[in-house]
Amino acid sequence: MMGMQPQVVLLREGADTSQGKPQLVSNINAVAAVADIVRTTLGPRGMDKLIHTDNKVVVSNDGATIVKTLDIIHPAAQTMVDIAKSQDNEAGDGTTSVVVLANEFLKEAKQYVEEGVHPQIIIKSYREASRLAIEKLKEWSIDISRQDEKEKRDLLIRCAATSLNSKLISHQKDFFAPIVVDAVLSLDEDLPLDMIGIKKVPGGTLEDSFLVKGVAFKKTFSYAGFEQQPKIFDHPKVCMLNVELELKSEKENAEIRLTDPEQYQSIVDAEWNIIYEKLDKIVKSGAKVVLSRLAIGDLATQYFADRNIFCAGRVPDEDMRRVVKACGGAVQTSIHNLSPDVIGSCGKFEEVQIGDERYNIFSDCPEGKTTTIVLRGGAEQFIAETERSIHDSVMIVRRALKNSKIVPGGGAIEMELSKFLRMHARQIYGKAQLVINSYAKAFEVIPRQLSDNAGFDSTDILNRLRQKHVAAGEQGRWFGVDVDNDGICDCYEKFVWEPLQVKLSAIGAATEAACLILSVDETIKNPQAEEQGGGGRGGGGRRMRGRGRPMPRRR
């Protein structure tokens, strides 16, 4: 009896634990399942996914959008969603690449895990390889910051076109790339994203989309009298308010004691006088276009119409901010003191019919620090995907403007990194040599997937690329997959360019995700409180244990 160990009950009955090698392998397989969904969307010939959730249909080619829309419940696979989001926030494009790369790193690590190599050895080698790759990338990048404005614009258009290559609207890239570049170039130094408005109007064709050098927003709710207002102005002054121009009814239960019936009239008149005084001050300011965040009632609408002034009430907040940025001036919360410096102006104001909507358009603005892209097209899902594509392209141009370094795309830089890391692996000894060699091999997944998605023989293309990169030295460095001619080409010469930042972010995020998953050796899933008959603390939360240290239980 003395030798028996008492049994320790640590976790509540029904808790699901899985640990060790099988656990790691199953996590890697879960990641592979996510990557298999998005891998076919990579590159210019990538396919799109149609995701049906509740009663909404999303058609998308954007890795981040796809993994966000999927309802993933596996805790390890969730990291794929997170890295796609982080790539989207940091670089804006390359979301599919980052998921495919992370999966390939894990796939290469899987054989070592199964053979019993300790995950920490793999993690250490991966981190070292990632550091070397990022150093080399920075070294190889090409600076395109030449001062000539026209040349700079052409270079940015090429970057925008490369980003649009893999999207649904790739056939219209020559139409959209200049629009995107002009939109970004019109912003101020900080390049704020919210100053590029994208408005979607169903109907027409994609080629009917246009860029407004200023602000466009949908006609707001309007009262009677609106029809008589002029709808076109040249060089109008614009008054922006945060004031309600409506007659307010008296508050309930207000009590006023009068001694003389004539006093009653003066009380009623007072209210009218207040609003007329406000309207009169606005007219005197010389403004021809009056916008307000709050309602502009029927009395005010008619008053402005009689004086040939255009007004719009309940203008959305983001549109109002952009009007201020475009026309100058400031939003006023009081009518008193409408000095000339708080009143904006624009070159032309007009209200036009676009599709079945009416839009108010402020163009040729003096400040010109904001633009609006009006997208047209057939189905709603199609326009929504066009918007996502434009967003990626805008982010790429912003990145290229801020950091004017680029690397060739088309799998060229991945092949070169793969070659460099293989050479490096030969100079070290021990298990790290094998692991870094596998990390190098993983990079080849990008050109391979580009070829597969285009329907080429990927083995043949990869052999030709390896031969170019190894044998041709400096001249062969920028060779990647030529999607147009089923072969290989110099991607730098063909202007298939990507900002350096996109690649740095992708390699960093993919390596981090792979290391995170390799460092987890146990998953503990607490049973729900209901399963326990409602008693006790509801576990519910998942716990992932890394490197043998349990995380504190969620309360």
Residue 540, Cβ neighbours under 10 Å: how many?
12
Q: What is the mean pLDDT of residues 69-85?
A: 88
pLDDT confidence tier of residue 540, bands split at 50, 70 and 90? very low
Lowest mean pLDDT among 20-34, 177-191, 240-254: 240-254
The answer to whether residue 95 is catalytic is: yes
Give Cα separations from 167 to 36, 62, 173, 206 (angstroms). 19, 8, 9, 14
Q: Give the three-class secondary structure for 370.
A: coil
Element containing residue 158 per DSSP (H, E): helix 149-165
pLDDT confidence tier of residue 381, bands split at 50, 70 and 90? confident
CA 127, 128, 131, 136 dihedral sign is: negative
The answer to whether residue 62 is catalytic is: yes
Q: Give the three-class secondary structure for 555.
A: coil
pLDDT at 15: 58
Rounded CA-CA distance 303/125 in Å is 75
Q: How many CA atoms lie within 13 A of 532 on its CB side?
A: 16
Q: What is the mean pLDDT of residues 495-505?
A: 88
pLDDT at 506: 93
Judge contact between 298 and 223, C-beta under 8 A. Answer: yes
Give Cα separations from 31 to 446, 461, 548 (angstroms). 17, 27, 22
Residue whose pair of structure tokens reads 């396919």 in the numeric block:
47
pLDDT at 534: 47
Beta-sheet pairing, 497-499 with 487-490: unpaired
**pLDDT > 60? residue 536:** no
Judge contact between 287 and 343, C-beta under 8 A. Answer: yes
Rounded CA-CA distance 499/475 in Å is 21
Lowest mean pLDDT among 336-345, 386-395, 504-513, 529-538: 529-538
Residue whose pair of structure tokens reads 């434009």 in the numeric block:
390
Rounded CA-CA distance 483/488 in Å is 8
pLDDT at 7: 66
Rounded CA-CA distance 370/350 in Å is 17
| pLDDT, tens digit (0-9, with 9 covering 90-100), for 431-454 | 999 999 999 999 999 999 999 999
Which member of 41, 62, 372, 523 is catalytic?
A: 62
Rounded CA-CA distance 367/345 in Å is 9
Judge contact between 236 and 286, C-beta under 8 A. Answer: no
Q: Give the three-class secondary structure for 466.
A: helix
Q: What is the mean pLDDT of residues 151-171?
A: 85
pLDDT at 251: 58
pLDDT at 452: 92
pLDDT at 11: 66
pLDDT confidence tier of residue 249, bands split at 50, 70 and 90? low
| pLDDT, tens digit (0-9, with 9 covering 90-100), for 397-411 | 888 888 778 888 889
Judge contact between 94 and 506, C-beta under 8 A. Answer: yes
Q: What is the mean pLDDT of residues 312-320?
A: 91
Q: Give the three-class secondary structure for 49.
A: strand
**Both tokens of residue 485?**
């001619």
Which member of 88, 93, 319, 392 is catalytic?
A: 392
Rounded CA-CA distance 511/515 in Å is 6
**pLDDT > 80? residue 163:** yes
Element containing residue 458 per DSSP (H, E): helix 458-471
Residue whose pair of structure tokens reads 């890394």 in the numeric block:
546
Q: Report phi then psi at 541, rounded to 5.
A: -70, 150
pLDDT confidence tier of residue 529, bands split at 50, 70 and 90? low
Tell me which of 534 and 34 has the higher pLDDT: 34
Tell me which of 460 and 356 has the higher pLDDT: 460
**pLDDT > 60? residue 537:** no
The answer to whether residue 41 is catalytic is: no
pLDDT at 364: 84
Residue whose pair of structure tokens reads 């044998």 in the numeric block:
471
**Both tokens of residue 433?**
């040599």
Percent of the chain predicted with pLDDT > 90: 30
Rounded CA-CA distance 93/106 in Å is 22
Q: Give the three-class secondary structure for 375.
A: strand
Percent of the chain predicted with pLDDT > 70: 90
Residue 69, Cβ neighbours under 10 Å: how many?
17
Q: Which DSSP state fits 266?
A: H
Residue whose pair of structure tokens reads 């031969």 in the numeric block:
467
**461: phi > 0 → left, psi -120 to 50 → alpha, else beta; which?**
alpha
Q: What is the mean pLDDT of residues 83-99?
A: 88
As beta bridge partners, residue 232 has: 350
**Both tokens of residue 160?**
């925008």
Beta-sheet pairing, 357-363 with 310-312: unpaired
Which member of 41, 65, 79, 95 is catalytic?
A: 95
Report if pTM > 0.75: yes
**pLDDT > 70? residue 331:** yes
Write down all domains in the chain, each with its CATH number in brackets. Answer: 16-143+408-523 (1.10.560.10), 149-213+377-403 (3.30.260.10), 215-251+264-367 (3.50.7.10)
Given 3-state DSSP classes, what are the helix, strand and coil percentages for the chain, each rounded to the nearest 5?
Answer: 50, 20, 35
The amino acid present at 37, given as its one-letter code, is I
pLDDT at 172: 87
pLDDT at 17: 64
Lowest mean pLDDT among 25-34, 174-183, 264-273: 264-273
**pLDDT > 60? residue 425:** yes
Please give the full DSSP string across 121-154, using - where no structure is assigned: HHHHHHHHHHHHHHHHHHHH-EE---S-HHHHHH
Lowest mean pLDDT among 152-156, 207-211, 442-446: 152-156
Rounded CA-CA distance 124/236 in Å is 65
CA 109, 112, 116, 120 dihedral sign is: negative
**pLDDT > 70? residue 385:** yes
Question: What are the strands of the beta sheet with 371-377, ordered from one edge?
Answer: 196-202, 371-377, 210-212
pLDDT at 543: 46
Rounded CA-CA distance 102/89 in Å is 17
Lowest mean pLDDT among 97-106, 174-183, 241-250: 241-250
Beta-sheet pairing, 405-408 with 497-499: antiparallel
| 547: exposed, middle or buried (Cβ count in 10 Å: 0-12, 13-18, 19+) | exposed
Q: Which DSSP state fits 40?
A: G
**Both tokens of residue 513?**
């995700």
Which member of 41, 65, 79, 96 is catalytic?
A: 96
Average of per-residue pLDDT values in the chain: 85
